[in-house]
Amino acid sequence: MEKNGTDPILKVQDLRTYFKMAEGTVKAVDGISFELHPNEVLGIVGETGSGKSVTVKSIMRLIYPPGEIVDGKVLFKTDEFSKGDPEYIDILKLNEEEMTRIRGRHISMVFQDPMTSLNPIFTIRDQMIETITFHRNVDEAEAERIAIDMLDKVGIPDPRKRLNDYPFQLSGGQRQRVVIAIALSCNPEILIADEPTTALDVTIQAQILELMKDLQREFRTSIIFITHDLAIIAEMADKVMVMYGGKAVEFGNVIDIFENPIHPYTNALLKCLPRVDVKIRDLEPIPGQPPVMLNAPPLCPFLPRCPIRIERCEKEYPEMVEMEEKHYVRCFKEALSDGGE
Ligand SMILES: Nc1ncnc2c1ncn2[C@@H]1O[C@H](COP(=O)(O)OP(=O)(O)O)[C@@H](O)[C@H]1O
Ligand SMILES: [Mg+2]
């Protein structure tokens, strides 16, 4: 069910990012692999602390001590360095100068808090024009025209006037719209959105999600969309990766994940999905403690909370297995068929 038959634009292979601290090692991302195709929205979902942000920050090379990317490949298909046919380059092997040609231009990122991306002491004009002239071969007048056009596209009223504003003069929702405008102003192939609406109230959240969907259709940008909210995944994503304790536990098309969830963690998450007649605070949390990340044993991270665990789970780490066509699950088949009895 690929949207098209082309090669992936991004191939993440066995990515491992660890935080090495005096108390021990946190394997925040521990062997993540996935592919992202052109014009595809991949949703990454999982509880807080499951390694979603560290995964995408590793792709953007925004990991700092005590964090370290210790293994893996992040292969990105681009002609930025080959000036001709696009070829796969390993982002993890680029130097800092090469990386600045990728960030913003080819892969850009929207964070939960828009003030992470906006500088409070510069006007929206300064910040937009700086990004556009840095990455695109245009003069300031043309950059301003592009900026106004982008602000208009993200639904900022009277964009020419808003260019003179400082971030504090805008509402939270408008700031996030500006960040999205900046992120898309260089027409990147990939947009990474890390909980972009979590800090906004629900009405504004719905508007921003609608906006992102419209822009995705218009620009055909590939998106990696991170959220802890499965309802948002259902709205936005074509494919879903479910993360738990630094590992991917299930991966598949959005319809398969919702209609036929297989991993016990995905099932637990789906049970927590709010129904229209249930208030958020009434939701049942997943029983048990979140995974211990510090010096975690080499076993399934969901084991302590798992209702279907079997003896084998205490000794071996399950591989990711294609249980159904293009639907991958990290769980032992025996556990799924007769565990918990
Ligand atoms: N700067 C840091 N120092 C130490 N540990 C960190 C740091 N950032 C993240 N971690 C660890 O990595 C884990 C995953 O973090 P993160 O990717 O931010 O989770 P989330 O899925 O909520 O985005 C956290 O549980 C934490 O243990
Ligand atoms: Mg996060």
> Which residue's alpha carbon is nearest to atom 19 within ligand 1?
49
Q: Is 291 a pocket residue for ligand 1 (Cβ < 6 Å)?
A: no
Q: Which amino acid is at 85?
A: D
Q: How far is the CA of 50 from the centre of ligand 1 (A)?
A: 7
Name the one residue in this structure whose structure tokens are 């080959």.
Answer: 82
Query: Which residue puts its alpha carbon closest to atom 12 of ligand 1?
Result: 28
Indicate whether residue 42 lines ligand 1 (CB < 6 A). Answer: no
Among the listed ranges 127-136, 183-192, 263-272, 323-332, which one has the minimum average pLDDT value?
A: 263-272
pLDDT of residue 1: 40
Using a 6 Å cutoff on CB, does residue 188 contact ligand 1? Answer: no
Q: What is the rounded distance in angstroms from the CA atom of residue 341 to the CA atom of residue 326?
A: 28
Say if ligand 1 is within 6 A of residue 50 CB: yes
Q: How far apart are alpha carbons 341 and 310 in whole angstroms?
A: 9
Q: Looking at residue 339, what is its pLDDT?
A: 60
Q: Is 236 exposed, middle or buried (0-12, 13-18, 19+ CB in 10 A)?
A: buried
CB distance 44 to ligand 1 below 6 Å: no
Q: What is the best residue among 20, 25, 50 to mutate for testing ligand 1's pocket, by most ligand atoms within 8 Å of CB?
A: 50
Q: Is 245 close to ligand 1, i.e. is its CB under 6 Å away?
A: no
pTM to 2 decimals?
0.93
| Ligand 1 atom having least distance to the Cα of 226 | 23
Give yes or no for residue 301 CB within 6 A of ligand 1.
no
User: With bands split at pLDDT 50, 70 and 90, how would you rate the model's confidence at 3?
Assistant: very low
| CA angle centred on 53, ends 51 and 59, rounded to 5° | 105
Q: Give the integer Cα–Cα distance in Å for 177 and 223.
A: 16
Say which ligand is closest to the CA of 52: 1
Task: Find the 100 Cα to ligand 1 centroid distance in Å.
Answer: 24
What is the distance in A from the centroid of ligand 2 to the CA of 42?
16
CB–CB of 74/19 below 8 Å? no
Query: What sign for the dihedral angle of Cα 68, 70, 76, 82?
Result: positive
How far does residue 263's CA lie from ligand 2's centre (Å)? Answer: 22
Give the total residue count for the chain.
Answer: 341
Binding site membership of 26 for ligand 1 (Cβ less than 6 Å): yes
Tokens of 101: 């040609």
**Nearest-angstrom CA–CA distance, 313 and 284:** 26
Which ligand minimizes its atom distance to the CA of 46? 1
Atom of ligand 1 nearest to the CA of 294: 27
Question: Where do the structural domains in the chain lie, given as residue ranges?
Answer: 10-106+188-338
- pLDDT level of residue 295 (50, 70, 90 thresholds): confident
CA nearest 100: which of 116, 87, 122, 81? 81
For ligand 1, the distance from its centroid to the CA atom of residue 312, given in whole angstroms, is: 29
**pLDDT level of residue 144 (50, 70, 90 thresholds):** very high
* Least confident residue range of 139-153, 237-251, 254-268, 286-300: 286-300
Model confidence band, residue 277 (pLDDT cutoffs 50, 70, 90): low
Dihedral sign for Cα atoms in the order 44, 208, 190, 59 = negative
Distance in angstroms (rounded) separating the CA atoms of residues 230 and 36? 19
What Rg, from alpha-carbon coordinates, does the chain have? Answer: 21
Q: What percent of the chain has pLDDT over 90?
A: 82
Which architecture characterizes domain 10-106+188-338 according to CATH? 3-Layer(aba) Sandwich (3.40)
Q: Which residues surround ligand 2, an ion (CB under 5 A)?
A: 53
pLDDT digit string, tens, across residues 7-17: 999 999 999 99
| Per-residue tokens: 275 | 């129904």
In this structure, of 48-62, 240-254, 292-306, the range with the lowest mean pLDDT score is 292-306
Rounded CA-CA distance 17/233 in Å is: 25
With 80 as the cut, is the pLDDT of residue 338 above it?
Answer: no
